[in-house]
Amino acid sequence: MLDASVTSHPIVQTVAHPDEITGLFDTISYSKGASVIRMLEDFMGEEDFKNGITNFLNHFKFGNAVTQDLWNELQEARKDVNITRVMDTWTRQMGYPVVTATRDPNGTVTLKQERFLFDQDANITDNSPYGYRWDVPVTYITSQSKAVSRTWLHSDAASVSIEIPRNATWFKINYHQKGYYRVNYDTKSWEQFIELLKTDLTALDIPDRAHLLDDIFSLAEAGRVSYSLAMDMTRYLTSETEYIPWKVASTKFNKFDVLLTSSPSYAKLRKYVQALVSNVYKKVTMAVSDDDSHIQRLLRPTVVELACNVGVPECISEVVAVFKNWISNASSVQKPHPDLRSIVYSYGMKLAGGEKEWNIMWNLYLKETDAQEKIKLLLGLAHSSEPWILHRYIQLAMSESNVRSQDFFTVLAYVSQNPVGMSIVWDFVRDNWRYLVDRFTLNDRYLGRLIPTITKTFTSELKLREMEIFFTDYPDAGAGKAARNQALDHVRKNIKWLSQHKKTVEDWIDAV
């Protein structure tokens, strides 16, 4: 999401001031870095990629290396592609493209690219040496052939054409979403995908189903397709039972949970998502088995958390029962299964936890020696529905004898995710900023990322103005200027979403 805004930054960049270093350790460095390497492996081929990486590691095992050294070693392994040219477009400019695919009646598909931004009206002030164009490795399949076809949409090409069989009912660009780009289709093609998913979802592999969901919602947010089209696609989820599509769907629905919580249509939205997730919830249940696959163990908490969040009755009753049994007999009853422990602690505290239960969990936290378990307990404690308990929680967490310094920011982040605690944390940080700076220093990476973390759910002009005043009063707050701008940009984007898309989603929900 960050990389689709004007406040992003390239993977490869120089640092002009020490306080900018913390700001570099974000999703661009890690998640985007991993994504473009995955794309690189795909277009190079696994064997050539591994050979190049092996040579790189052997060559520099006792020394330092720069980005170009990696490209040089990979170039030796795959000589027919200009690795440096391709990868510089992905690592030395911010952002990524959306590839628009338009099919004509003869079966020719024309591909064009442009920079993808969630805010298409954003003021672009940073120029790119590549003109915000990329060398895009294009992969595609069709209804007539699952064999992956490949071509390039180069940065200096206005477009490229590919030929699709005239009898192909659909074509899918960016096979398994291995390319770091989004794909937009003409309306007819999107409607064909929506119908295909409803009638024969297995015609598309699991990663491609997830990819379609991810792209259509992101394109809707950017105003490139209608949210009605994106919501139409979600209807097929009543038949979806796989992890990756549900992970994408839960992320999109959780975003609605933040943005539409005050909407008159919020209750209907919850009921709609309940209907979608109920089938897969009944399939996975909360019963964890030793025979579960890795993917099943990822699917279960994703589904259970979404089901509880939208109020599926069976999920609520099961989680509350497990929580009550555990919290009442914590010294003698086995803890909830690790896969579901955070969910039980959080939703149990939210739905069935009062002062007594909170105090029990707090004492369990103080006695706990396992670091991961302590973090899960901190999350559960942050889900109290009582404002005064959350105030007390923050005060208790300020003491290092209770909570480690690095975990104090975790407490603030967790409480800010609780709708009851969002303003509590924001007020605390503003009132105690000088204390935080004195205790942790401005160069502390955790303090540097605090403001973007606790303000990401803000959706009002009032909160935005409060942030602007705060940054005026404390111009050094946050991990450098870029991180401050990112925090403000995120809130502006939330506000703009409400003005541009809220009514469309509400109308769709009300018509269901």
Can you give the CATH number for the domain in which 35 is found? Answer: 1.10.390.10
- Alpha carbon 396 to chain centroid, angstroms: 31
- Residue 125 has a pLDDT of 82
Q: Considering the domain boundaries, does residue 494 fall inside one?
A: no
* Same domain as 226, residue 106: yes
Mean pLDDT, residues 8-16? 84
Beta-strand relationship, 136-142 and 108-115: unpaired
Least confident of 155-164, 179-188, 241-250, 322-331: 322-331
Q: Is residue 15 scored above 90 in pLDDT?
A: no
Q: What is the per-residue pLDDT across 390-432, written as a single tens digit (0 to 9) for each?
A: 999 999 999 999 999 999 999 999 999 999 999 999 999 999 9
Q: Tell whether 51 and 125 lie within a shared domain.
A: no
**Could you give the angle at the alpha carbon of 357 between the alpha carbons of 327 and 266, nearest 5°?**
100
**pLDDT at residue 23, rounded to an integer:** 60
Residue 25 confidence (pLDDT) above 80: no
Give the pLDDT score at 413: 98
Q: Are residues 118 and 208 in the same domain?
A: yes
Do 78 and 155 sit in the same domain of this protein? no
**Is 148 in the same domain as 201?**
yes
- Domain CATH number, residue 220: 2.60.40.1910
Q: Answer yes or no: do 102 and 31 share one domain.
A: no
Average pLDDT along the chain = 95
Q: Which amino acid is at 276?
A: L
In a domain, 435, yes or no: no
Helix (H, G, I), strand (E, B) or coil at 151: strand
Q: How many domains does the chain have?
A: 2
Note whether residue 365 is domain-resident.
no
Q: Predicted confidence band at 475 (pLDDT cuts at 50, 70, 90)?
A: confident
Instruction: Please check the confidence at residue 308 and state whether its pLDDT lies above 60.
Output: yes
Give the per-residue pLDDT at 11.
Answer: 93
Q: What integer pLDDT is reported at residue 126 of this predicted model? A: 84
**Do 62 and 107 fall within a single domain?**
no
Please write down the HEC assignment for all residues of 209-277.
Answer: HHHHHHHHHHHHHCCCCCHHHHHHHHHHHHHCCCHHHHHHHHHHHHHHHHHCCCCCCHHHHHHHHHHHH
**Domain end: 171, 204, 239, which one?**
239
Which H or E element spans position 59? helix 46-59
Whether the per-residue pLDDT at 480 is higher than 70: the answer is: no
Burial of 292 (0-12, 13-18, 19+ CB in 10 A): middle
Rounded to two decimals, what is the model's pTM?
0.93
Decide which of 219, 239, 259 is a domain's last residue.
Answer: 239
**Backbone phi, then psi, for 119, in 5-degree steps?**
-105, 100
Within-domain flag for 187: yes
- Angle, in degrees to the nearest 10, between helices 33-44 and 46-59: 120
pLDDT in tens, 217-270: 999 999 999 999 999 999 999 999 999 999 999 999 999 999 999 999 999 999
Q: Percentage of the chain with pLDDT > 70?
A: 97
Is the distance from CB of 77 to CB of 55 less than 8 angstroms? yes
At residue 483 the predicted structure's pLDDT band, cuts being 50, 70 and 90, is confident
Taking only the tens place, the pLDDT of each residue in 341-384 is 999 999 999 999 999 999 999 999 999 999 999 999 999 999 99
Among candidate residues 224, 239, 254, the one where a domain is terminated? 239
Query: What pLDDT does residue 493 have?
Result: 94
Gap between the Cα atoms of 189 and 173, Å rounded: 11
Task: Report residue 476's pLDDT band, with 50, 70 and 90 as the boundaries.
Answer: confident
Q: Is residue 310 part of a domain?
A: no
Q: In this model, does residue 482 exceed pLDDT 80?
A: no
pLDDT computed for residue 478 by the predictor: 63
Q: Which residue has the higher pLDDT, 383 or 23?
A: 383
Q: Are 193 and 474 in contact (CB under 8 A)?
A: no
Residue 14 has pLDDT above 80, yes or no: no
Higher pLDDT, 488 or 445: 488
Model confidence at 116: pLDDT above 60 = yes
Query: Do 101 and 234 reside in the same domain of the chain?
Result: yes
Both 53 and 77 in a single domain?
yes
Residue 467 lies in a domain: no
149 and 199 within one domain: yes
Residue 24's pLDDT band (boundaries 50, 70, 90)?
Answer: low
- Asked if 184 and 112 sit in the same domain, the reply is yes
231 shares a domain with 108: yes
Confirm whether 335 is domain-assigned: no
Domain span holding position 61: 2-91
**179 lies in some domain:** yes
The band of 333, judged by pLDDT with boundaries at 50, 70 and 90, is confident
